[in-house]
């Protein structure tokens, strides 16, 4: 048996094989992608688990701008965390950590003016020295440092400016601390011919001289004037006045002068000399520092003395008054003028003579009118009576029977001063009104403090009445006049 084998064309077979291989390859790729996805998912899963286990949440505290905020976070970028919390770092700020606490130290904005430049800076320096070191600015012992207009030293603190939003962002803000360095310049002082060169940063010559220890007195000369601005290389002439002690009698005066002769110095103060006056030493004497000149006055002078003459008080009866009524006509003090002529030699008064006496105003007495027929002054002269004071007292009245003694008692009606009780004798507290004091009591009349009483204490008086005479006094407060003798 014979078999015939007819081969198929080669191209279709190759194509079929190629398609089978392609399908196999695509299947492998799909399988690899699936495995890769799975591996990625597993990696992410295990990474999350590992992250949860390896990096647990941490509690930290942020201390900034006067606040302390505590948070629980896995964020490891503290600055990013602070930014999210509203705490933003500005140039010059410093972030420090101590355990779980973070501290944001703020830099303070400050304007520094030095050597013709104005610098805007942010500093954490605590002292002026530290701030200048940050800026590499040197100062000398003669330079002046002013912080916010006040003079400060290197070890003084830096004024802390308020932290506003602009300040935190590093922008210029108003009200920040201002530090100014005023550089010292050389100048020469010619003090009474002696030349000394020094440096000063003061704005005017007066302050510069004070720093240098130059004390200016009356009549001292300064060229240029002391209010002139200090300029580098300037020359200043200081000429001190000479002090001269002038003796005028018992008085001593010091005058300061630039004059060369004594007569010129005395003329400057307006001192005039009479024909007989003399100066020791002579007027032609050259003025020297610390010298003493003595004026010997020979002659006389007049002076006026004025004396106030106190008004007197007169008590006069008035028939139009009755009972306890009275009236007062006020007077006034007088002024007496006396003109004296005094002869003085060598500063001592040799003679004083009254030349003229007159009244600018005559004194006029105050008159107190009392009812005619009432108690007359007790032991006082008629006419003018000197009133030395006025007391406000609580006045009561009493008689001999008020003492509680029997009328047969030898002491019945006898006062502390040994007088027989009658109208015009009053009981007082001797600590307030001494016994023997003369009084005028409106509504009662003239009286004398001649008795005491156990119940009369302080500003109280008891007005005496004899037995059988009805008392016409109403108890109460009254102003009484304290009388003295002329």
Give the DSSP letter string of 204-223: BHHHHHHHHT----TT-EEE
End-to-end Cα, the chain, rounded Å? 197
Give φ, ψ of 217 to 5 degrees: -115, -175
235 and 247 in a common domain: no
* Position 209 in a domain: yes
What is the per-residue pLDDT across 218-261, written as a single tens digit (0 to 9) for each?
A: 899 999 999 999 999 999 999 999 999 998 877 888 999 999 99
454 and 386 in a common domain: yes
Tell me: pLDDT of 369 over 60: yes
> Exposure of 78 by Cβ count < 10 A (0-12 exposed, 13-18 middle, 19+ buried)?
middle
Q: Max CA-CA distance within the chain?
A: 206
380 and 472 in a common domain: yes
* Position 160 in a domain: yes
280 and 307 in a common domain: no
Asked if 394 and 459 touch (Cβ cutoff 8 Å), the reply is yes
How far apart are the C-alpha atoms of 169 and 271, rounded to whole Å?
Answer: 74
Residue 96's domain is classified under what CATH number?
A: 3.10.20
Q: Which residue has the higher pLDDT, 116 or 311?
A: 116
142 and 229 in a common domain: no
Residue 468 CA to its chain's centroid (Å)? 72
pTM of the model: 0.41
Paired tokens of 434: 């001494």
409 and 468 in a common domain: yes
User: Would you list the DSSP string of 453-466?
Assistant: -TT--SSEEEEE--
464 and 403 in a common domain: yes
Asked if 182 and 159 touch (Cβ cutoff 8 Å), the reply is no
Give φ, ψ of 98 to 5 degrees: -135, 95
What is the per-residue pLDDT across 421-441, written as a single tens digit (0 to 9) for each?
A: 999 999 999 999 999 999 988
Residue 131's domain is classified under what CATH number?
A: 3.10.20.90
Report how many domains make up the chain: 6
What is the per-residue pLDDT across 143-193, written as a single tens digit (0 to 9) for each?
A: 999 999 899 999 998 865 444 444 444 444 455 889 999 999 999 999 998
* Position 11 in a domain: no
Q: Which residue has the higher pLDDT, 3 or 374?
A: 374
What is the per-residue pLDDT across 60-117, written as a single tens digit (0 to 9) for each?
A: 888 887 788 888 888 778 777 777 777 877 777 888 888 888 888 788 889 999 988 9
* Position 331 in a domain: yes
Domain boundary among 296, 312, 341: 296
232 and 189 in a common domain: yes
Paired tokens of 104: 């944001």
* Position 3 in a domain: no
Q: What is the residue whose two structure tokens read 């004037």?
A: 225
The percent helix, strand, coil of the chain (3-state, each to 5) is: 15, 40, 40
pLDDT-above-70 percentage for the chain: 80
Domain boundary among 276, 296, 316: 296
Q: Which residue has the higher pLDDT, 49 or 461?
A: 461
Q: Which residue has the higher pLDDT, 326 or 365?
A: 365
How far apart are the C-alpha atoms of 260 and 35, rounded to whole Å?
Answer: 121
436 and 382 in a common domain: yes
Residue 90 has a CB neighbour count (10 Å cut-off) of 17
Domain that holds residue 210: 185-239
479 and 381 in a common domain: yes
What is the per-residue pLDDT across 372-425, written as a single tens digit (0 to 9) for each?
A: 765 544 444 444 567 788 889 999 999 988 877 888 888 888 999 999 899 999
* Position 258 in a domain: yes
233 and 247 in a common domain: no
* Position 194 in a domain: yes
User: What b/e sequence results for 292-312 when a residue is b if at least 16 CB atoms lie within 10 Å of its CB, and e otherwise?
Assistant: ebebbbeebeeeeeeeeeebb
193 and 168 in a common domain: no
> Exposure of 88 by Cβ count < 10 A (0-12 exposed, 13-18 middle, 19+ buried)?
middle
* Position 35 in a domain: no
């Amino acid at each position: 048996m014979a078999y015939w084998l007819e081969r198929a064309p080669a191209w279709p077979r190759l194509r079929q094989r190629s398609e089978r291989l392609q399908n196999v390859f695509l299947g492998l790729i799909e399988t690899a992608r699936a495995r890769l996805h799975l591996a990625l998912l597993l990696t992410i899963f295990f990474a999350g688990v590992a992250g949860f286990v390896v990096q647990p949440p941490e509690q930290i505290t942020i201390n900034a701008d006067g606040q302390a905020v505590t948070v629980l976070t896995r964020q490891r970028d503290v600055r990013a965390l602070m930014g999210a919390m509203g705490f933003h770092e500005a140039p010059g700020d410093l972030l420090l950590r101590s355990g779980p606490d973070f501290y944001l130290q703020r830099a303070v904005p400050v304007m520094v003016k030095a050597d013709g430049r104005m610098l805007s800076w942010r500093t954490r320096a605590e002292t002026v020295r530290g701030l200048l070191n940050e800026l590499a600015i040197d100062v000398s012992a003669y330079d002046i440092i002013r912080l916010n207009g006040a003079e400060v030293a290197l070890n003084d603190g830096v004024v802390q400016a308020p932290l506003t939003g602009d300040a935190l962002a590093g922008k210029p803000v108003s009200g920040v601390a201002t530090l100014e360095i005023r550089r010292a310049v050389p100048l020469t002082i010619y003090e009474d011919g002696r030349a000394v060169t020094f440096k000063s940063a003061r704005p005017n010559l007066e302050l510069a001289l004070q720093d240098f220890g130059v004390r200016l007195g009356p009549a001292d000369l300064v060229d240029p004037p002391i209010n002139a601005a200090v300029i580098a290389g300037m020359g200043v002439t200081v000429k001190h006045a000479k002090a001269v002690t002038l003796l005028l009698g018992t008085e001593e005066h010091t005058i300061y002068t630039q004059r060369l002769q004594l007569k010129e110095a005395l003329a400057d103060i307006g001192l005039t000399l009479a024909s007989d006056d003399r100066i020791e030493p002579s007027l032609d004497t050259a003025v020297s520092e610390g010298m003493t000149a003595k004026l010997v006055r020979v002659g006389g002078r007049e002076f006026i003395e004025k004396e106030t003459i106190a008004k007197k008080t007169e008590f006069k009866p008035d028939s139009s008054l009755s009972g306890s009524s009275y009236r007062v006509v006020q007077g006034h003090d007088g002024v007496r003028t006396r003109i004296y002529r005094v002869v003085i030699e060598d500063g001592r008064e040799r003679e004083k003579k009254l030349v003229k006496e007159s009244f600018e105003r005559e004194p006029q007495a105050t008159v107190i009118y009392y009812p005619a027929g009432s108690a007359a002054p007790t032991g006082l002269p008629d006419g003018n009576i000197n009133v030395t004071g006025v007391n406000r007292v609580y006045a009561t009245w009493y008689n001999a029977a008020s003492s509680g003694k029997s009328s047969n008692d030898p002491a019945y009606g006898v006062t502390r001063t040994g007088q027989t009780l009658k109208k015009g004798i009053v009981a007082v507290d001797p600590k307030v009104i001494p016994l023997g004091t003369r009084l005028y009591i409106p509504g009662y009349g003239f009286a004398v403090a001649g008795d005491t009483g156990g119940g009369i204490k302080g500003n109280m008086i008891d007005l005496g009445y004899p037995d059988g005479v009805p008392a016409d006094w109403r108890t109460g407060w009254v102003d009484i006049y304290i009388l003295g003798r002329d």
